[in-house]
Amino acid sequence: MKLSAHEFTSESVSEGHPDKVADQVSDAIVDLFLAKDPTAKVAVETLTTTNKIVLAGEVRTNNGAVVTEEEMNEAARAVVKRIGYEQDGFHWKNLSIDNLVHGQSAEIAQGVEAGQGLFKEEGAGDQGIMFGYATNETPELMPATLVYSHQILQKLAALRHSGERPQLEPDAKSQVTLQYEGSKPVGVNAIVVSHQHGKDVSQDELREIIRPVVADVLPEGWFPPEDKFYVNPTGSFYIGGPDGDAGLTGRKIIVDTYGGAAPHGGGAFSGKDPSKVDRSAAYATRYLAKNVVAAGLAERCTIQVSYAIGVSQPLSIYVDTHGTGKADEVRIAKTIRELFDLSPKGIRTHLQLNRPIYGPSAAYGHFGRQPGDNGAFSWEKTDLTSELARLAN
């Protein structure tokens, strides 16, 4: 169905948000294991609070590689240092780490490893549904509300890291409300930025630090009226980060994906190796939806897949082009099955996911990013467009 005029909002949180600190620590440990064993199994959760990190989960290497508790702890500490936490209540050097990570139970592998499941190939590690989405409203083929929310915080973080704006501290949130005509954004209705700051920074000073960053991110002429430009609307935001609010892995799944513009299957990404379809199949469906839109087959596309534990191929593939399709949705779904092996192993092989590439994905979104030379964000490539367009038509 075509969209009518409406407004829509998405939010983002910075790398210093307590939940994002937890996500980044969990993914640093994933990368640590994958660097030593590309087939390692990792499921690690992180809790952050006042000068404390707690690690818990299950891990296994298959090539005899050893990752020590000390290596995991140092990886966690390095994340906090990189983010820039040197506060009394949360300091990379002074915080304590409780490491409760242990070896993976052999029972977890039963029915999942190749040769043990219902089919004699690697099955999905759990049942579940995963969604991918793309829209042509931005060059990134992502919702504009989320793109702008991420970019505002990324630019503010860059100013903080460079030393140009020492008034800024790591914890921050943003929220962007846009006016849409149909599926196209035409203006800004409201901007919210809440940013942790130094003790002596006034509300007016912070507002003028943030103003040019927001103006730089938004299209020319889109800056909202002053009464719709909210900076720290509750006042002072001096105590923040894990000292102000505990953080947990996996609590920002809408920030991580599409800002609420598309469904979410419910599974978080960070802390999981790519054999977990919560992560890898969500990446695959984004890859496929993005290629559908990039191929000109639709202006917007949502793809859902479903899995059963121990079963290799997805039980279903659903394609919705939201009334914007230039090809039949059933035909697109059939083409996807022909072009892309959506088994757990097929996804990892096609997107080359068994690499230590996940740290950068744990802040500012897993989607809409630039593919890296090291293989990071391989799911953002649009290398299926020609074949998709040919077969779907």
Out of 3.30.300.10, 3.30.2020.30, 3.40.50.970, 3.40.50.880, select the CATH number for domain 18-109. Answer: 3.30.300.10
The reply, when asked if residue 114 is annotated as ligand binding, is no
Token look-up 């949502």 returns: 302
pLDDT at 118: 41
Q: Is the pLDDT of residue 137 over 90?
A: yes
Round to whole Å and give the CA distance between 57 and 92. Answer: 22
**Residue-level pLDDT at 3:** 75
Is 17 annotated as belonging to a binding site? yes
* pLDDT higher than threshold 70 for residue 121: no
Residue 104 annotated as binding site: yes
Question: Cα-atom radius of gyration of the chain, to the nearest Å?
Answer: 21
Confidence of residue 335 (pLDDT cuts 50, 70, 90): very high
pLDDT at 342 over 60: yes
Measure the CA angle with vertex 20, ends 16 and 24; round to 5°.
100
Task: Report pLDDT for 129.
Answer: 97
Residues 6+ apart with CB under 8 A from 269: 250, 253, 256, 278, 279, 282, 361, 366
Looking at residue 124, what DSSP letter applies? Answer: B
- Look at residues 58, 42, 57, 55 and name the one whose alpha carbon lies nearest to residue 98: 55
Q: Give me the mean pLDDT over the 30-38 stretch.
A: 98
Tell me what pLDDT residue 391 has: 86
Q: According to CATH, what is the number of the domain 128-137+250-256+271-392?
A: 3.30.300.10
Residue 173 assigned as binding residue? yes
Q: Which residues are catalytic?
A: 17, 19-20, 45, 58, 173, 237, 245-246, 251-252, 272, 276, 278
Q: Could you tell me which CATH number the domain at 6-12+145-242 has?
A: 3.30.300.10
Q: Where are the domains of the chain?
A: 6-12+145-242, 18-109, 128-137+250-256+271-392
Q: 128-137+250-256+271-392: same fold as 6-12+145-242?
A: yes
> Looking at the predicted structure, is the pLDDT value of residue 108 above 70?
no
pLDDT digits (tens, 9 = 90+) for 146-193: 999 999 999 999 999 999 999 999 999 999 999 999 889 999 999 999
Q: What mean pLDDT is reported for the chain?
A: 94
Amino acid at 191: I
Task: Name 221's Cβ contacts closer than 8 Å, sequence gap at least 6.
Answer: none
Q: Is 245 annotated as a binding residue?
A: yes
Q: CA–CA separation, 241 vs 168, rounded Å?
A: 12
Read off φ and ψ for residue 219, nearest 5 degrees.
Answer: -60, 150
Helices of type H across the chain? 18-36, 69-83, 106-109, 144-162, 203-217, 241-244, 253-256, 277-294, 329-339, 344-351, 385-392
User: Does 338 appear as a known binding residue?
Assistant: no
The whole-number pLDDT of residue 1 equals 57
> What local confidence, expressed as pLDDT, does residue 183 receive?
87
pLDDT at 166: 97
pLDDT at 122: 82
| Residue 244 contacts residue 88 (beta carbons within 8 Å) | no
Q: What is the DSSP string of 264-314?
A: --S---TTB-TTSHHHHHHHHHHHHHHHHHHTTS-SEEEEEEEE-BT-SS-
